[in-house]
Amino acid sequence: MELLLGSALRLFVSQGYRSTNLEQISSAAELTKGAVYFYFRSKEAVLLELLKQVQGTVVDRAIEVTEAAGGSATERVVAYVHYQANLGITHRDEVLLLILMALEFKEREGEVQSFIANLYARQCTFIEGLVRDGQQRDEFRTDAATRELASLVLAINDGTFLEWYRRSNVLKGPDLVRALRLMVLGGLGAAAGQLPAKPARRKAPAKITTVSRSSRHT
């Protein structure tokens, strides 16, 4: 089962669900097609099993880690971003599977679409709770609706994974995560004193150096 699921995960992410068949999955796992049917009744059953694993790693565990961070709403949002970023190293394909399948099954009804919709609904509800708490604590902006702010947090997170996947040859993980954290916190309107200071200090010398050199040339 692990061989089949691992092969299916790579194929679903690299070429999509529609373009993948059971013969390709069994061949990639170096098993017979009969072995696939022995464990799974259909291609959809394979995807559902993968999505159940995604639920535990990408959604359930993320919520547990974020809640365990305690403290301010800002600190919990940072914990969520950092956990998601770490998934980019340890479980990148699982995260991409959820994002890509959500797009591929958007207009299709059935068990897979319902399962994915429930996963995203749970994520949205959780992030909305974080944002609402931050607004009530005067940590986050209140000139935008809670639901829309939470949706943008998820959108930025998903978009970052897709960009990392597309341009992993030129993007540096730590720098991308730092930018993601600043974008999320800045967008939520977190107080300046709560924003991570290290990235800001690294940016300042670069600007001063650039201006200084331009002045000398001029």
DSSP 71-113: S-HHHHHHHHHHHHHHHHHHSHHHHHHHHHHHHHTTT--SHHH
> Can you tell me the mean pLDDT for 111-132?
95
- The share of the chain scoring above pLDDT 90, in percent, equals 59
Residue 144 has pLDDT above 80, yes or no: yes
pLDDT digits (tens, 9 = 90+) for 196-213: 444 334 344 343 333 433
Number of neighbouring beta carbons within 10 Å of residue 120:
16
**Integer Cα distance of 159 and 202 in angstroms:** 25
Work out the pLDDT band at 182, boundaries 50, 70, 90: confident
> Can you tell me the mean pLDDT for 65-85?
92
Residue 55 has pLDDT above 50, yes or no: yes
> Can you tell me the mean pLDDT for 164-193?
80
**Integer Cα distance of 38 and 17 in angstroms:** 20
For the chain, the straight-line distance linking the first and the last C-alpha, in angstroms and rounded, comes to 67
Work out the pLDDT band at 106, boundaries 50, 70, 90: confident
What is the pLDDT at residue 124?
A: 94
**Integer Cα distance of 108 and 167 in angstroms:** 29
Work out the pLDDT band at 190, boundaries 50, 70, 90: low
Work out the pLDDT band at 168, boundaries 50, 70, 90: confident
Structure tokens at 156: 């930025």
**Integer Cα distance of 67 and 80 in angstroms:** 9
Number of neighbouring beta carbons within 10 Å of residue 169:
5
More confident residue, 31 or 206: 31
Which of these, 118, 88, 91, 87, lies nearest to 102 by C-alpha position? 118
More confident residue, 53 or 161: 53
Residue 95 has pLDDT above 70, yes or no: yes
> Can you tell me the mean pLDDT for 41-68?
94
What is the pLDDT at residue 77?
A: 93
